[in-house]
Amino acid sequence: MGANRRPILFVSYAESGLLNPLLVLAGELSRREVPDLWFATDEKARGDIAAAAVGSPVEFASLGDTVSQMSAVTWDDETYAEVTQRSRFKAHRAVIKHSFAPESRIEKYRSLEKVVEEIQPALMVIESMCQFGYELAITKGIPFVLGVPFVPSNVLTSHVPFAKSYTPSGFPVPHSGLPGNMTLRQRIENQLFRVRTLGMFMTSSVRKVVEEDNRIRKELGIAPEARQMMARIDHAEQVLCYSVPELDYPFPMHEKMRLVGTMVPPLPQAPDDDEVSEWLSAQKSVVYMGFGTITRLTREEVASLVEVARRLDAEGHQVLWKLPREQQELLPPAEELPANLRIESWVPSQLDVLAHPNVKVFFTHAGGNGYHEGLYFGKPLVVRPLWVDCDDQAIRGQDFGVSLTLDRPETVDTEDVLDKITRVLDEPSFTERAEHFAGLLRDAGGRTAAADLLLGLPALATD
């Protein structure tokens, strides 16, 4: 390897909500003709990595097929019901139960280890949920940057009592969906959330998994310091968070945290998508409904949303609904659909849709990317939170005046949805607040600021 080579290796799961921000960052570096860019992820994302290379090459390093425990889109319906139930703690517990599978990391860790041996990266950029990625970086002593698609407190707050945490005592626990200003009952609930999480790891069934985890860590040669509660923060060179401080409850920000705002590529992202863009331009007011890649709707919920669209027609609003093809079989016959409803199995660019001035409201599950993308374009939100971090973003959005959350998110009640959409459409304060945060997110610099920060790190310095 040449003395002046400084390879950068991106590492992520292949889930779009985790992968996409790093693709934007890799694309920005490619646009700047930065050499020796690599991206390690599952085989199914090979095409996405190829598309990120708009200047210098972004080489794909396959980590093999997707492992079910690491991919929520592959979970069966019973597991999906468990992880999306409305008891926030039970849903949190179910996510841990289904994703804490130490043996599933073995193949990924070893595959990444081979990639690292071949590439010898000067720097790794690792998505925050990719445990095997930052464990390997810490073990091998490779400088790394952590990428975070959630609000910053999500990775700085401990889930259990008595553990290291970089937010104040009493701060809302991630996945609890609790507000910053809590009632006495909510403060007790917040503490119980931590205690119950700790208690879960003391049960005999989970202790066996922990013992297996310890055995596998030893077998793989993972350094003990990689297991520390805040290892991914403490050992990172920097933590890139795709948010701004004002979209989280206030706390002293960690010195490594760099808040760069929403990661958005140059637009239009899909310049050839004339059909959808022309349709949007022909409307006056559009409600965009998009619930990510994990949400699974029932026939009754689909029927309720069709009725919502029908009743919005009377008020002069159009509805664009991104509904996966496999769920479109739940729709009523085409002749029974309202004329103001346009359904797409996939929009080439959700960002292009949200950027359109005729889109007035974003009805979303409030995942980390969707939440920040909607606000980046000044769109107020109506939220049906799906799981874990979605509840945290939903309560912050409501507290900051940019969104309303369904009263009954465990279902899709027509009156409930219609009430929230109508209020957000009719009350100017929601749009005004969303546009305020749009300015903050844009000023944070996004992909440009993130790329500048990476390229300024000592690990990439050349003689």
pLDDT digits (tens, 9 = 90+) for 165-190: 999 999 999 999 999 999 999 999 99
Predicted local confidence at residue 100, as pLDDT: 87
Q: Which CATH number is 61's domain given?
A: 3.40.50.2000
Q: What is the pTM of this model?
A: 0.96
Residue 463 has pLDDT above 70, yes or no: no
Are residues 217 and 286 both part of a single domain?
Answer: no
Are residues 325 and 399 both part of a single domain?
Answer: yes
Are residues 191 and 316 both part of a single domain?
Answer: no
Are residues 45 and 94 both part of a single domain?
Answer: yes
Are residues 219 and 324 both part of a single domain?
Answer: no
pLDDT digits (tens, 9 = 90+) for 38-60: 999 999 999 999 999 999 999 99
Beta strands in 81-178 (DSSP E): 123-127, 144-148
Question: Count of domains in the chain?
Answer: 2
CB 339 within 8 A of CB 307: no
Calculate mean pLDDT across residues 430-450.
98
pLDDT digits (tens, 9 = 90+) for 222-268: 999 999 989 999 999 999 999 999 999 999 999 999 999 999 999 99
Residue 172 within any structural domain of the chain? yes
Q: Which of 198, 222, 241 is the last residue of a domain?
A: 241
Domain that holds residue 45: 8-241
CB 235 within 8 A of CB 388: no
Residue 133 has pLDDT above 70, yes or no: yes
DSSP state, residue 101: -
pLDDT category of residue 5 using cuts at 50, 70 and 90: confident
pLDDT digits (tens, 9 = 90+) for 67-116: 887 788 888 999 999 999 989 999 999 999 888 889 988 999 999 999 99
What does each C-alpha distance from 366 to 12, 103, 182, 309 come to in angstroms?
Answer: 21, 31, 21, 20
Q: What is the largest CA-CA distance in the chain?
A: 68
Cis before residue 268, ω within 30 degrees of 0? yes
pLDDT category of residue 1 using cuts at 50, 70 and 90: very low
Are residues 220 and 330 both part of a single domain?
Answer: no
Please choose, from the candidates 67, 137, 72, 75, the residue with its C-alpha nearest in 3D space to the C-alpha of residue 102: 67
